[in-house]
Amino acid sequence: MAVYTDVGEAELVEFLSGYDLGQVLSYKGIAEGVENSNFLLRTSADTFILTLYEKRVDRNDLPFFLGLMQYLAEHGLSCPLPVQRRDGEALGELAGRPGAIFTFLEGMGARRPSPANCRAVGAAMARLHEIGRGFSMHRANGLAMTAWRPLFRSCPDRVDEVEAGLSAEIEAELCEIEASWPQGLPSGVIHADLFTDNVFFLNGELSGIIDFYFACNDLLAYDIAITLTAWCFEADGSFNMTKGAALLNGYQSVRPMTEAEVEALPILCRGAAMRFLLTRLYDWLTVPDGSFVMKKDPREYLRKLRFHRSVTRAGEYGYSPSGGRA
Ligand SMILES: Nc1ncnc2c1ncn2[C@@H]1O[C@H](COP(=O)(O)OP(=O)(O)O)[C@@H](O)[C@H]1O
Ligand SMILES: N[C@@H](CCOP(=O)(O)O)C(=O)O
């Protein structure tokens, strides 16, 4: 349940007095999400999303996130647009937290993505990468490859309780990833959390992308690796090459990958699986049972990591050099 901060009606009315959004009709907490508190807000003007930023989001990063959403929306990517107050600011303070209001996006995440969904998300991600070239703000990736070992070290000494031998497996894997991580690939603005719950579909068409709170500057192909890892495995843990090909072809229909990116895809996928294995592992071992923070199973990403370790070339993900070309 992602409502960590309660909002009283009087303080909400006071907060809204800075906007031209009419009268509050209703507001209710949204269960989905992990990081922040989100409310569905209906006013006499329209329906909106009210987000209160919780402790895990650094408030110094908020201008980057809000600025990026505004820039992408203004350049044709469907994503929430931060609503400005009368004084021109989009960020305010509510219930002791930084807060902002966003336009509401219609649609729902694909629970079991089809190859067509995968193609659409690949193309949308490439559009995001292309549009992002013109965005002038910069944010280093706080969860970049160099942050994984310190994150692993900060996990309590109970990693092997999750699975026997896990600590040694992660240690060995980190050494290989660190030694083989690619240098000099094209970089730019990436979403970095393009999971199925963050991409909405309406009537079979991709209607928008949400949740830019891990967005940062990093390797574009690392974003492809994250998305491929999130979208193209089945519930039984098997990789679906049809979906992989669809996602990569969709991406390449907008932005062809360079040869170096294609070659690096297997190691980037190992990194992507490691990043989500570690954040999930940390939460699994540190967040108390019964807490509001939704813990996700780290073993899902351990299985994905093991698959990626067996891959030697991008063709095994469904990549084909002509992919995306008409
Ligand atoms: N602009 C939006 N339009 C429609 N629904 C939204 C919007 N932003 C968030 N939501 C809803 O709120 C949920 C949580 O949002 P998300 O940004 O993923 O939260 P968190 O950052 O806490 O993970 C989403 O799954 C979706 O249901
Ligand atoms: N996608 C991450 C967790 C972050 O959750 P989100 O609700 O912010 O997308 C994971 O699955 O580990």
Per-residue pLDDT of the chain (326 residues; tens, 9 = 90+): 467 788 999 999 999 999 999 999 999 999 887 789 999 999 999 999 999 999 889 999 999 999 999 999 999 999 999 999 999 999 999 999 999 999 999 999 999 999 999 999 999 999 999 999 999 999 999 999 999 999 999 999 999 999 999 999 999 999 999 999 999 999 999 999 999 999 999 999 999 999 999 999 999 999 999 999 999 999 999 999 999 999 999 999 999 999 999 999 999 999 999 999 999 999 999 988 777 677 899 999 999 999 999 999 999 999 998 876 54
The predicted pLDDT at position 6 comes to: 87
pTM as predicted: 0.96
Question: Any idea what DSSP says for residue 233?
Answer: B
Give SS3 for 95.
Answer: coil
Identity of the residue numbered 8: G
Selecting from 3.40.50.620, 3.90.1200.10, 2.40.30.160, 1.10.3720.10, what CATH number does the domain 109-317 have?
Answer: 3.90.1200.10
What pLDDT does residue 1 have?
Answer: 44
Burial class (CB in 10 A: 0-12, 13-18, 19+), 87: exposed
Nearest CA owner, ligand 2 atom 12: 276
CATH for the 9-104 domain, from 3.30.200.20, 3.10.580.10, 3.40.50.300, 2.40.160.10: 3.30.200.20
Axis-axis angle for helices 241-252, 115-132 (nearest 10): 30
Pairing assessment for the beta strands 216-219 and 187-190 based on DSSP bridges: antiparallel
Of the listed ligands, the closest to the CA of 2 is 1
Supply the pLDDT for residue 326: 44
**Dihedral sign for Cα atoms in the order 19, 20, 25, 29:** negative
Q: How far apart are CA 272 and CA 63, in angstroms?
A: 26
Ramachandran bin of 208, using left for φ above 0, alpha for ψ from -120 to 50, beta for the remaining angles: left
Spatial separation of the C-alpha atoms in residues 313 and 311, rounded to whole Å: 6
For CATH 3.90.1200.10, list the domain ranges present in the chain: 109-317
Token pair of 175, please?
Answer: 């050494």
Q: Where are the alpha helices (DSSP H) in the chain?
A: 9-16, 62-74, 115-132, 145-153, 166-180, 220-231, 241-252, 259-286, 298-309
SS in 3 state form for 133-160?
Answer: CCCCCCCECCCCHHHHHHHHHCCCCCHH
Q: Cβ < 6 Å from ligand 1: which residues? A: 2, 30, 32-36, 38, 49, 80, 102, 104-105, 197-198, 210-211, 213
pLDDT the model gives residue 220: 98
Residue 2, pLDDT score = 67
276 within ligand 2 shell (Cβ under 6 A): yes
- The ligand 2 atom at the shortest distance from the C-alpha of residue 301 is 12
Task: Residue 249: name the closest of 325, 305, 165, 167 by CA.
Answer: 325
Q: Mind giving me the DSSP string for 160-203?
A: GGTSTTHHHHHHHHHHHHHHH---S--EEEE-S---GGGEEEET
SS3 65: helix
Dist. CA 34 → ligand 2 center (Å): 6
Pocket test for ligand 1, best of 211, 283, 292 (most atoms within 8 A of CB): 211
* pLDDT value for 280: 97
Ranges of CATH 3.30.200.20 domains, the chain = 9-104
What's the CA-to-centroid distance between 263 and ligand 1, angstroms? 34
Distances (CA, A) of 99 to 9, 35, 92, 102: 15, 13, 5, 10
**Phi, psi for 243 (deg, rounded to 5):** -70, -40
Q: What are the tokens at 63?
A: 């201008």
